[in-house]
Structure 1
Amino acid sequence: MNGGLLVAGTTSDAGKSVVTAGICRWLVRRGVKVAPFKAQNMSLNSFVTREGAEIGRAQAMQAQACRIEPTAQMNPVLLKPGGEQSSQVVLLGKPVGEMSARGYHGGRQQRLLGTVLDCLAELRGTYDAVICEGAGSPAEINLRRTDIVNMGIARGARLPVLVVGDIDRGGVFASFFGTVALLAPEDQELVAGFLVNKFRGDVSLLEPGLDMLHGLTGRRTYGVLPFRHGLGIDEEDGLRVSLRGTVRESTVSPPVGEDVLRVAVCAVPLMSNFTDVDALAAEPGVVVRFVDRPEELADADLVIVPGTRGTVRALAWLRERGLADALVRRAAEGRPVLGICGGFQILGEHIEDEVESRAGAVDGLGVLPVRVRFAREKTLTRPAGQALGEPVEGYEIHHGVADVRGGEPFLDGCRVGHTWGTHWHGSLESDGFRRAFLREVAAAAGRRFVPAPDTSFAALREEQLDRLGDLIEQHADTDALWRLIESGAPQGLPFIPPGAPA
């Protein structure tokens, strides 16, 4: 078998990432050697491979669904937004510079098509099947000429295309039809059919619409996936972190001890790797919420200042909103604060940045004895060590170089009292360390909170991935999906001129 499939979507956030992961997990459970692929990803939520390459965290999650190690070939182009109109371009895991959206789409993107196709060919030569994820919508006709992630890669590699639609948003039939109708004939012939995502209710009520859609497009629907809570794992877009909402106390598993533990995460601009707090949210009795007002810190037992692609910008935002003063007071009172990556830098005394913001010398909040200088070369590592008497693993993605001038050592950063700072992302996924850290936080906060002794974050992630595989296996036509991956799009699919139904 040398199969492939492109999972496209009618919109951003239609469910492409989780559907791709679900198909990967379904295939690997059938004994298929499978790998994920996304030619180009725009995300602030990234990961570091064992070889020191930076890729989208969604592709790392999909590799886990395949039970393989992620590599740079699985996400050859990563765009990390640094503002409204510019992004850092990461090519094969290494940053190659900043570029405006106009400059990128004006020529650079199309020149990367050869590199992207080479990576896909290398994966297809190694694995039985490669499940590719598109980006946004393939019907973004203003960008089709330079597209390398949707129909550009599908046509270049002759991949069949499955279009996913989020019915929970409404208008899914119009979205399916319009997506196909806006494509050129050469692109349409690769669109095999549709997959409905996030359906609530009685499927029999949907079936007449699916039959009509088939009559209008000549394309079948490969499955209707029901709505399931808690499957948005490793989402791509940190800029939309507010859409994750606030975790209500009523939705949290009951605590092991007498109290819950409340964690407030400052929702800084250009937040990166907000998945750092997922392991905390997985703990019974821990309530995690994202906040943007100083009064929301008042009842928090732990405040986290997370990573950000714009450290100086985030620092200014904290000051403008009064959160900076609240953090300084909190640290002085000995109430727990944790800074991760950019958040660690913000808690320091001084920042010298001629790289990211080009702001030069900027005073930090001064609660940790650290001075930070931004280097042009990005640090991309997978460190391991010990803290609080427990083994810890993590990963680092940063330009800032920290000069720690005091305090107690803490994960290559430092702590002063109950304020901690580190560049290590993912450290809270280490179960023993997370429990030890939460015990310290609870003691400092005066809470009778006890971490669950047997919570395994890795096992919970595996359970989530199996749930995705179950969704595909139980609610998709897997026989038809298998034929599609193995043999490509059916021949003779009709062309739909735009506006045909009228």
Structure 2
Amino acid sequence: MKGIMIQGTSSDVGKSLIATALCRVFSNEGLKTAPFKSQNMSNNSYVTKDGNEIGRAQGIQAEAARAEASVWMNPILLKPQSDHHAEVILLGKAVDSLSGKSYRESFYEKGLSTIEQALQLLEAHYEMLVIEGAGSPVEINLKDKELVNMKVAEMADVPVILVADIDRGGVFASIIGTLELFTEEERGRVAGIVINKFRGDISLFENGVKWIEEKTGIPVLGVLPYLDNHMIDGEDSLSIQPFIQRTGDGILDIAVLRPPYISNFSDIDPFYYEEDVSIRWVNSLSEIGTPDAVIIPGTKSTIRDLRYFKEKGLANWLERYAEEGGHIAGICGGYQMLGRNLIDLAGSDTGSPFEKEKGLNLIPADTFFHEKKKTVRVQGRLHPNTKLSNIDNLDGYEIHLGETILENEYSGRHLLLLENGEGDGFYGNEGRLIGTYMHHIFHNDEWRGAWLNALRKQKGYPCKPAVYIKALKDNKYDELAESLMKHLDWEKLKEIIFNWRKQNEMA
């Protein structure tokens, strides 16, 4: 199988975005294309059609490639639960929770065999493989048992493109330093260099390109511009979009609490495309201000992050804010925090069975954490008992260990009625307090528009029609692909890919 691997001089250089663009370009050229990342560490995940869990970046790349996402595209997913432990997702299912040391000691051989199996299966079904690396490929303390960079390039026998981020500075040192730390064999696999996130007049970097090529003997295949509003979901918390402040009359101020172990932060992305909404990520009480609404996103460790909010004074503030009629929306872990009690029966949330924590006591419900995780795509509509617009065809996905049980007398106060007849979440205070397990609920344009209009009415602002961003996403894949081809030596890259094995066989 033909393929290319995108590695970076560090994390967040734009590997995922470039891999996404390549998936769409190859698909546009008629090649049956699949993304691949052997091992991903991210709490931003994606639920496949068959209810398995993979890294969100590979799910998005599969969409760009017009392929159905599968566990073979990301066979190993590590989801951090604390500073020392991560949940291990193998072929879409949670199998263990391990420390970094235990993972390296006990999982390496199993990981290698799983990766080899995945590569073989993808080769049997696809013509082109776009492989993404992770972090830096030259972490010396980890290289002997790495499962995601040069080892994978060797297993797949594909050339490597090294990406460097010029926006953060030090681009020359990062390129030269990375290449110097490669072995001679690894360095020989690097067939091209890409400079990413350039701002300004690219012609001003011509001398820089010349210097890199003369110093390394490796062609610079392109200098890619910094892209705003690309609408492609980020992979980890480094990719969270910054605070966007809009000022003037009629602006809604939404504060999003940022827990240490935040997960599925792409739930918030649609608000960045609402012209009258400011989004603020809040870590402390001093930053909270007087928002028009607060969103509590998902987390990989609900109890730990609830304790964090208590320590920071945000929990007490939320309770007062709710009493004063503030609008609060909790998603997944954020929904669980709104209840009365959290009981970790299996130790799956904290690592300690039967650990308990008092919730914010805003919703009459208790959450019990079990051993088995629920991962499923879901569809539904607003529950008939809500006083919000009667919106049908809401869709999203669930990824959670906890089960939240409402008191019997409140059993009809669900926010959603799912397609399978079950109720989900909670609707209270005439819509000012809501919670749900449905990730991406705010990606449903009609619902997001109705929720924002409730805020506008309370502020005395005129209502606005829904902003339909959902339909724009596929167009964004094409725009991303066009931008890549405009600034990349596309014919040279294809020559590298299609001649790689032929040249190595001759050598």
Same fold (TM over 0.5): yes
Opposite residue 389 of structure 1, the aligned amino acid is N
Contact 2:256 2:296 in 1 (8 A): yes
Partner of 1:267: 258
Of all paired residues, the percent bearing the same amino acid is: 38
Q: Partner letter of residue 242 of structure 2?
A: G
Matched, 1:448 2:461: yes
User: What SS does structure 1 have at the residue aligned with 2:167?
Assistant: helix
Taking the aligned partners of 1:216 and 1:336, their CA distance within structure 2 comes to 57
Is the Cα contact below 8 Å between 2:231 and 2:476 reproduced in 1? Answer: no
Q: Aligned-pair distance for 1:298?
A: 4.2
Secondary structure, in 3 states, of the residue corresponding to 2:399? strand
* Mean Cα deviation higher: 206-215 or 356-365: 206-215
Match in the other structure for 1:325: 316
CA contact (8 A) 1:192 1:489 kept: no
Task: Identify unmatched segments of 5+ residues in structure 1.
Answer: 493-502
Distance 1:232 1:187, change over 3 A: farther
Shift of the 449–19 alpha-carbon distance from structure 1 to 2, 3 Å rule, reads farther
Distance 1:451 1:43, change over 3 A: farther
Q: Deviations over 1:236-263 (max 9, x none)?
A: 223x47x63211115xxx9xxx722221
1: CA distance, partners of 2:178 / 2:502: 18
SS in 2 for 1:465: helix
Q: What displacement does 1:60 show? A: 1.3
Farther off after superposition, 295-304 or 21-30: 295-304
> SS at the partner of 1:262?
strand
Question: Which has the higher mean CA deviation after the structures are superposed, 66-75 or 102-111?
Answer: 102-111
Q: Does 1:27 align with 2:29?
A: no
TM-score (norm 2): 0.91
1:248 pairs with one of 235, 245, 261: 245
1:389 and 2:390 equivalent? yes
Determine the structure 2 residue equivalent to 1:303. 294
Matches within 5 A, 1:117-266: 117-231=116-230, 233-238=232-237, 240=238, 244-249=241-246, 259-266=250-257
Paired letter, 2:245:
R
2:414 to 409, 423, 432: 409
Match of 2:330, as an amino acid?
A: G
Closer, same or farther: CA 177–107 of 1 in aligned 2, 3 Å: farther
- Counterpart Cα distance in 2 of 1:297 and 1:441: 18
Task: Give the structure 2 partner of residue 355 of structure 1.
Answer: 348
How many angstroms does 1:68 deviate by?
2.3
Measured in 1, the distance between the counterparts of 2:469 and 2:200 equals 32
- Asked if residue 48 in structure 1 is aligned to residue 47 in structure 2, the reply is yes
- Name the CA distance, whole Å, in 2 between partners of 1:162 and 1:81: 28
Pick from 426, 432, 443: which aligns with 2:440? 426
Q: 1:265 to 1:281 in 2, by over 3 A?
A: same
Q: Helix, strand or coil: the match of 1:483?
A: helix
**What SS does the aligned partner of 2:138 have?**
coil
What is the alpha-carbon distance in structure 2 between the residues aligned to residue 337 and residue 222 of structure 1?
A: 48
Q: Separation in 2 of the partners of 1:457 and 1:471? A: 20
Q: Is the 8 A contact 1:261 1:449 kept in 2?
A: no
Distance 2:187 2:285 in 1: 52
Q: In the TM superposition, what is the alpha-carbon distance from 1:213 to its structure 2 partner?
A: 2.3
Structure 2 SS opposite 1:394: strand
Alpha-carbon separation, structure 1, partners of 2:462 and 2:300: 33
Residue pairs, 1:9-24, within 5 angstroms = 9-24=8-23
Alignment partners' CA distance in 2, 1:288 and 1:114: 44
Q: What is the CA-CA distance between 1:295 and the residue it aligns to?
A: 5.3
2:114 corresponding residue in structure 1: 115
In the comparison of the two structures, how many residue pairs are matched?
Answer: 482
Q: Which residue of 1 aligns with 2:421?
A: none
Deviation, structure 1 residue 352: 0.5
Contact 1:439 1:450 (C-alpha < 8 Å) held by counterparts: yes
Q: 1:498 — aligned with what?
A: none
Secondary structure in 1 aligned to 2:473? helix
Contiguous gaps of at least 5 residues in structure 2: 383-388, 417-423
CA contact (8 A) 1:274 1:307 kept: yes
Q: Spell out, residue by residue over 1:134-182, the C-alpha distance to the aligned partner (whole angstroms, 9 max, x if none).
A: 0011112222221121100101110110000001122222222221221
Structure 1 SS opposite 2:380: strand
**Paired residues of 1:18 and 1:231 also in contact (CA < 8 A):** no
Which residue is 2:368 aligned to? 373
Equivalent AA in structure 2 for residue 187 of structure 1 = E
Post-superposition Cα deviations, 1:155-210, rounded to whole Å, max 9, x if no partner, equal 11101100000011222222222212211222222111101101123333322332
For residue 215 of structure 1, report the CA deviation from its aligned partner.
2.6
One-letter amino acid matched to 1:174: A
**SS in structure 2 of the partner of residue 435 of structure 1:** helix
Aligned to 1:499: none
What is the CA distance between 1:449 and its match in structure 2? 4.5
- One-letter amino acid of the counterpart of residue 440, structure 1: A
CA distance in 1, matches of 2:204, 2:501: 28
Structure 1 vs Structure 2 CA RMSD:
2.0
- SS of residue paired to 1:106: helix
